[in-house]
Chains A and B, each alone.
Chain A
Amino acid sequence: MGIGNISESLQQFLDGSLSGDQEAELLHRLSVSPERREVLRSYMKQSAIISADRNAIVVPYSAEQKLWAAIGAMSPVVTAVPVTTSVATSTAMLGSSVWRMSAVAVVAILLGLSSGYLLWSGNNSLQTQATSDSQITPLLRENVGHSVTSSATNVIAERSGIKNIRNSDHSEHITRQSIGATLQQPPHLADGTDLSVDLLPVFADLQRTNALPEALALPASVSFIRDPNTHQREHPSIGGVLQTHSPKFLERFDFAIHEGIGKQFPNTAATNTSMPIITNSDICVKYQLTPEFWIGASFGTANVTQKKLSTAFVDPNAPQLQYQIVSDLVHEQTVWGGGLIEYRKPISSKFTFAANVGLAASTLGPIISSELGVRYDVTGDVGVLLGLRGSRINSNVAKQYQDIITSSSFTAGTGVAPGVTDDKANLNVEISTGIYFHF
């Protein structure tokens, strides 16, 4: 076996593809031939330097940047198969446009405010017209001087479309159910039949036309009523003439401070120990767009749980072996700001049900939140609220992943631990309390 032949045998030996007998024969030949041992050493040296060269080659940062820029411009990914929207894709999309979304929220709020203002100021004459041409006056006239039955009251109330009124001092939202409690001397007809407060506009109309018997004069505490459908204040008794009143722009606002405490999901023993209770605080301004719907803007700060990616050794005892990307749940404090839309429905003279959904931009990405609660009017200007709020925020795993792999310090051959790229949303559930006031 010459050097030429032994060269191939040595390579096969190094590849491990020689049979046992062939290997034994080769080892024997090597033991008696310094030249062949030199060839073997040469191959081993070559193998070592090729291995070192292979490991030394690092993908240039600029090449990776150019590649990802090119790929970023190529979307959708594949058109030949059905594409489902992944969480990570959505996260990346949302994450990249978080400030755009907050800008949209602000613009929406401004549009809402301005449209409400324009609608308000533009409809004054129409409201006055509607009041002076009250369609329910004939109905009452038919009954004045006769007994006004409950059914007649209901009919009138239904046609008037008025279900709530507010005292002049803003202290009471008066409903049909609460009239007995709020008016010391409920208006009644000559035969003693009580009238619903829903008939107050009708009384006002009668008063304007001097058709209301003195016995049925309205209590002094009720100097105006508000029609929730038109936001129109009606003063039933000012100099005996019904007048309309358009509330000021600021009267449509309320302001609130909220404080929430609750729990974050998902959580771990570590997160539960480090922060068993999370908090969420904000200040908020809301504007009444329609009788039931309000829009608002909030600014606050909250604790959230985030999934954080980092690199670590696969085996801490053998760090030379391999790095891998790992993840951990950690607490983060975020500052957020955004918009919301709220639905309110009075459920008694002092309680109002409220439900809202909001979208906010935060330092950790977009937050979607929702709240169900009850508002209680302590006085005409101040109230408190209690609710249950849920907030959802993503960890932006895809972006973190991209950041790690495109960082200049990233080590070639780094693996990925199982589950690292899962991007489940983090949820905060909290009891929300607050205080609000309005003009």
Chain B
Amino acid sequence: MATALQPVERRSQTGPNEQDQSYEIALLHAFREGKREAYTELYLRYRQRVYAYCLRMLGNAQEAEDLFQEVFIRVWQRAYQFTEEKSISGWIFTIAHNLCLNRIRDRKEHDSIDNYISLSSSNPEMGEDWAARIQSALEQVPPENREPFVLFEYQGLSYQEISEVMKLTIAAVKSRIYRAREELRKILEPYYRDEQ
């Protein structure tokens, strides 16, 4: 039984793959030296994950696009600020995390979050409904639990990387992710039954 369940474990829990990390750091160095194609490759590696993060954190396609652009422009502009104490993924998602928090903070001052549950992404296999249900369910999870969950499930960050991005202990990261999962399960469970 345990063997059958193993595919769920998709990533290392101890940190990013060392080979990947050193390759990405080499890409960043190459970019600093003026090689635009190195930036392009970094972009390729992260574009989907960054956009998914923006979309699932903000729940609004237009805002997600804006944030997505802002993140990669920051990566371009601040490449020289990167220090090798962090992984590239940790660094990029710290940028995304900070920009996202600012965006959510600004949004709270001006508007209600309920107005932002609109989705542009759809999954032909899941149907439009599931994408909307997931987004709706995520909106009901408190942001402090939602973010580590999104970073873990959508961005593939390890607990260690999430702890660096959010400046939490690994135990706290795990606990928040578990809570988010449990909250989502409770919200989504009725739909599972409907599907059956």
The CA-CA distance from A8 to B130 in the complex, in Å, is 25
Q: What is the count of residue pairs linking A and B with beta-carbon distances less than 8 angstroms? A: 157
Classify the interface of chain B: helix, strand, loop or mixed. helix
B122 nearest in chain A by CB position: A56
Question: Is there contact, CB below 8 Å, between A44 and B52?
Answer: no
A49's contact among B13, B61, B126, B154, by CB below 8 Å, is which?
B126
Cβ-neighbour of B39 out of A11, A46, A47, A77 (below 8 A): A77
Which of B65, B73, B79, B188 contacts A60 (CB under 8 A)? B65
* Given A56-B122, A88-B35, A92-B36, also A70-B131 (CB < 8 A): no
In the bound complex, do residue B65 and residue A56 qualify as a contact, i.e. CB atoms below 8 Å apart?
no
For residue B182, CB closer than 8 A to chain A, the reply is yes
Tell me which of B32, B41, B65, B131 contacts A63 (CB under 8 A).
B65
Task: Determine how close the nearest CB of chain A comes to the CB of B75; give it in whole angstroms.
Answer: 10
Chain A 242-273 interface mask (CB, 8 Å, partner B; 1/0): 00000000000000000000000000000000
Complex CA gap A283/B76 in Å reads 47
Encode contact with A along B158-171: 1 for CB under 8 Å, 0 otherwise.
00000000000000
Q: How many residues on the B side are at the interface (Cβ–Cβ under 8 A)?
A: 56
Say whether B185 faces chain A, with CB atoms less than 8 Å apart. Answer: yes
By the criterion of a CB under 8 Å from any partner CB, how many residues of chain A are at the interface? 60
Specify the chain A residue showing the minimal Cβ separation from B121. Answer: A57
**B residues in contact (CB < 8 Å) with A:** 1-2, 5-6, 8-9, 13, 31-37, 39-41, 43-44, 47-48, 51-52, 55-56, 61, 65, 68-69, 72-73, 76-77, 79-80, 120-126, 130-131, 134, 153-154, 177-178, 181-182, 184-185, 188-189, 192
A172 at the interface (CB under 8 A from B): no
Q: B73 contacts which chain A residues (CB < 8 A)?
A: 67, 70-71, 74
Q: A46-B184, A49-B126, A67-B73 are in contact. List 20 more A-B contacts (CB 8 A).
A: A15-B8, A15-B9, A42-B189, A43-B185, A50-B154, A53-B126, A54-B52, A54-B153, A58-B48, A60-B65, A67-B69, A71-B73, A81-B80, A84-B34, A85-B34, A86-B36, A88-B35, A398-B36, A398-B40, A421-B37
Taking CB atoms, residues of chain B closer than 8 Å to A57 are 48, 51-52, 55-56, 121, 154
